[in-house]
């Protein structure tokens, strides 16, 4: 799964899944761009990658703001000369039942998870189309299939799947592939922050009885981003320990 020498930009890569994805790209010989809204996290990840012999650039940007998104891609191309791989990983969740869900809860989740993905794809494609090469990997969620208390999150992630499929058709003639990863429960700071009873409930409906590791997602991303996957586009891979085919709602 070669990404040697390719330039990969990963949103939300200051921690969690995005951080691990960025480090795996660096280990695989890619030049990586760390995008996050937390400057301290960006600096830490960039320093760790460079300390291990990798090439990294850090940019503080809010992906819901078009001007900031356009600027981060310009900085990437100015620094590395090109952009080959985009991983849309940044996302937030504000889970509530429908009658408790506020308009702000809805808008903020849709803006980051769906609008942000759209803006990043749009800016990346402007460069990738000229190169006649590109790999876009969007991070959705098993939740796009639906889950109680996640109307906003599920809708946003379902939109990511639909966006992926549409862009795959639009961009295939330009040798740009667009694919999607749908993770299940993964060991991240977000999961760690949940109350113990919430963690127990999630594990009860997990077929494997275990949670995934961020590296599980990173390997899936590397496949879609590699030189070897040029004939794969518009696809969704569930990395969820079987949760996508398990329908129990006894939580």
Enumerate the active-site residues: 153
Q: Is 28 in contact with 34 (CB distance < 8 Å)?
A: no
Where are the extended beta strands (E) located within 170-251?
176-183, 236-239
Tokens (6 digits) for 232: 């794969």
d(Cα 204, Cα 211) in Å, to the nearest integer? 11
Q: Quote the distance between the C-alpha of residue 38 and its chain's center.
A: 17
d(Cα 167, Cα 137) in Å, to the nearest integer? 11
Assign 3-class secondary structure to 58-125: EEECCCCCHHHHHHHHHHHHHHHCCCCEEEECCCCCCCECCCCCCHHHHHHHHHHHHHHHHHHHHHHH
């Amino acid at each position: 799964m070669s990404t040697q020498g390719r330039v990969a930009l990963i949103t939300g890569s200051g921690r969690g899944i995005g951080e691990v994805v960025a480090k795996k790209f660096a280990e695989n010989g890619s030049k990586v761009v760390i995008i996050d809204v937390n400057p301290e996290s960006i600096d830490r990840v960039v320093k760790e990658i460079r300390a291990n012999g990798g090439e990294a650039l850090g940019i503080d940007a809010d992906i819901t703001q078009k001007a900031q998104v356009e600027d981060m891609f310009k900085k990437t191309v100015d620094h590395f000369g090109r952009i080959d791989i985009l991983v849309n990983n940044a996302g937030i969740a504000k889970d509530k039942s429908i009658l408790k869900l506020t308009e702000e809860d809805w808008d903020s989740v849709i803006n980051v998870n769906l609008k942000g993905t759209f803006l990043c794809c749009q800016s990346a494609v402007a460069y990738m189309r000229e190169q006649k090469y590109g790999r876009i990997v969007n991070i959705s969620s098993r939740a796009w299939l639906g889950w109680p208390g996640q109307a906003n999150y599920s809708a946003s992630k379902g939109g990511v799947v639909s966006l992926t499929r549409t862009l795959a058709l639009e961009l295939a003639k330009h040798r740009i592939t667009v694919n999607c990863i749908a993770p299940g429960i993964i060991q991240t700071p977000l999961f760690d922050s949940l109350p113990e009873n919430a963690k127990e409930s999630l594990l009860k409906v997990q077929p494997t009885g275990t949670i995934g590791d961020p590296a599980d997602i990173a390997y899936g991303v590397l496949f879609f981003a590699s030189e070897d996957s040029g004939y794969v586009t518009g696809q969704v891979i569930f990395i969820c320990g079987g949760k996508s085919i398990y329908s129990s709602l006894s939580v």
